[in-house]
């Protein structure tokens, strides 16, 4: 069953089209990686799925079981966000805010945050200040926060940007586990196409002159894949 279906979707800023006539669908259990050059509209697409950016054409349909406020989002990190002065616990708890009915966190929400901190191995530093953590630890905190908002769908915008290869591999393993074992559908923006292929079952490649959407196998043999994966495309 499709969780999200985009049909002829277009998004424009001040009349300039950034996402043009894009169609693709995400099924339950999928891990879709969105790749493409800088400026090809990856973050804009993520924001339009979240309802943060207005679409200018086409439509985004959510399946009966998924609502826009039930999507867990890990935004691209900026230098300013890395210095955010809050504790790990506070940041993870803030993932519950979208669905709260009262201004106070309930026992259920606190339990959910604790569960997700345990799942991501960050319980030991829940009282520490976020800005003191390493880049990899910060991404785990943001992933735990995103999980508080969802049981179904995670949108991850460049989750491994700026991380060293060992921490990148650890984070990829975590994302793979959340997708394959915990059955959470994942849509991830990445510049790391080979790394993405290890996690994804489908690739969406955005390009200012068109796009590709299909399985990893189809991508490897496509003109897009051949260009971007080079000689190793059929390995």
**Residue 220 neighbours by CB distance under 10 Å:** 18
User: Shortest approach of ligand ADP to residue 38 CB, angstroms?
Assistant: 4
The residue (of 50 and 119) whose beta carbon lies closer to ligand ADP is 50
* Closer CB to ligand ADP, 54 or 99, in the complex: 54
| Closer CB to ligand ADP, 71 or 122, in the complex | 71
Per CB under 6 A, the segment of 37-45, 109-117, 163-171, 191-199 that binds ligand ADP is 37-45
Rounded least distance, CB 40 to ligand ADP, Å: 4
| Contact stretch for ligand ADP (CB under 6 A) within 33-41, 96-104, 117-125, 136-144 | 33-41
Pick out residues in 38-67 that bind ligand ADP (CB under 6 A).
38-44
Report, in Å, the least distance between residue 228 CB and ligand ADP: 14
Among 3, 6, 9, 18, binds ligand ADP (CB under 6 A): 18
Q: Which residue has the tokens 């993520």?
A: 46
- C-beta separation of 203 from 219 below 8 A: yes
66 versus 206: smaller Cβ distance to ligand ADP: 206
Number of residues that bind ligand ADP (CB under 6 A): 10
Q: In the bound complex, what is the minimum distance in angstroms from residue 34's beta carbon to ligand ADP?
A: 8
3-state secondary structure the chain: CEEEEEEEEEEEECCEEEEEEEEEEEECCCEEEEECCCCCCHHHHHHHHCCCCCCCEEEEEECCCCCHHHEEEECCCCHHHHCCCCEHHHHHHHHHHHHCCCCCCCHHHHHHHHHHHHHCCCHHHCCCEHHHCCHHHHHHHHHHHHHHCCCCEEEEECCCCCCCHHHHHHHHHHHHHHHHCCCCEEEEECCCHHHHHHHCCEEEEEECCEEEEEEHHHHHHCHHHHHHHHHHHHC
Footprint (CB under 6 A) of ligand ADP, residues 97-126: none
Residue among 125 and 219 whose Cβ is closer to ligand ADP: 219
Q: List residues binding ligand ADP (CB under 6 A).
A: 13, 18, 36, 38-44
């Amino acid at each position: 069953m499709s969780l999200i279906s985009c049909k002829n979707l277009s998004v424009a800023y001040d009349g300039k089209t950034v996402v043009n006539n894009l169609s693709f669908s995400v099924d339950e259990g999928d891990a879709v990686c969105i790749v493409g050059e800088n400026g090809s509209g990856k973050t804009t697409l993520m924001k339009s799925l979240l309802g943060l950016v207005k679409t200018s054409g086409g439509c985004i349909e959510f399946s009966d079981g998924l609502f826009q406020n039930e999507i867990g989002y890990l935004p691209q990190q900026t230098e300013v966000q890395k210095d955010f002065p809050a504790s790990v616990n506070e940041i993870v708890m803030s993932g519950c805010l979208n669905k709260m009915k009262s201004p106070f966190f309930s026992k259920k929400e606190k339990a959910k945050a604790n569960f997700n901190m345990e799942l991501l191995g960050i319980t030991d530093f829940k009282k520490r200040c976020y800005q003191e953590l390493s880049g990899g630890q910060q991404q785990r905190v943001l992933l735990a926060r995103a999980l508080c908002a969802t049981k179904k769908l995670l949108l991850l915008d460049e989750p491994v940007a700026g991380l060293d290869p060992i921490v990148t591999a650890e984070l990829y393993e975590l994302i793979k586990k959340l997708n394959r074992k915990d059955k959470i559908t994942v849509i991830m923006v990445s510049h790391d196409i080979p790394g993405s292929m290890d996690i994804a079952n489908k690739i969406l490649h955005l390009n200012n002159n068109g796009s590709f959407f299909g399985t990893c196998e189809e991508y490897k043999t496509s003109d897009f894949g051949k260009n971007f994966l080079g000689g190793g495309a059929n390995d």
